[in-house]
């Protein structure tokens, strides 16, 4: 997970528009690009946004770390399943895993 995606998640949890979430810390145009992971947010602006929205820096980075760990575990799980299907020559299983991995990437690594 990227920082911009996590910021968006927190913003939506608080039921705020981008404008209300950013106050006067950054421009809405810039922040929109941060949420889309097109631009990177500076440390100063990130801390400012977190403080402005009463989000603990520690809580934010713990969430970020947990989501990254989950993505890594899910990716490894799919890789292991693919290796097993390959060595058992299970072509149908490989296609199913490939399709599942594509869906996972589109859904931000949420296994379905």
Report pLDDT digits (tens) over 66-109.
Answer: 666 666 677 777 777 878 887 888 888 887 877 765 555 444 44
State the average pLDDT over residues 1-24: 92
What is the per-residue pLDDT for 61? 85
Residue 80 vs residues 34, 96, 99: alpha-carbon distances, Å = 33, 14, 15
Q: Token pair of 21, please? A: 């979430």
Span 13-57, pLDDT tens digits: 999 999 999 999 999 999 999 999 899 999 999 999 999 999 999
109/75 Cα distance (integer angstroms): 8
* pLDDT at residue 77, rounded to an integer: 78
Q: What token pair was written down for 87?
A: 């060595």
Q: What is the pLDDT of residue 42?
A: 93
For residue 49, which of 65, 71, 28, 64 has the smallest C-alpha distance?
A: 28
């Amino acid at each position: 997970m990227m920082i911009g995606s996590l910021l968006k998640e927190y913003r939506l949890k608080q039921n705020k528009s981008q404008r209300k979430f950013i106050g006067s810390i950054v421009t809405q145009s810039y922040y929109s690009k941060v949420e889309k992971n097109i631009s990177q947010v500076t440390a100063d602006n990130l801390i400012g946004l977190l403080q402005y929205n009463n989000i603990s820096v520690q809580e934010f980075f713990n969430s970020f770390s947990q989501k990254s760990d989950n993505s890594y575990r899910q990716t490894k799980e799919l890789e292991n399943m693919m290796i097993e299907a390959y060595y058992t020559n299970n072509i149908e299983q490989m296609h199913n895993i490939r399709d599942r991995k594509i869906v996972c990437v589109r859904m931000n690594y949420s296994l379905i």
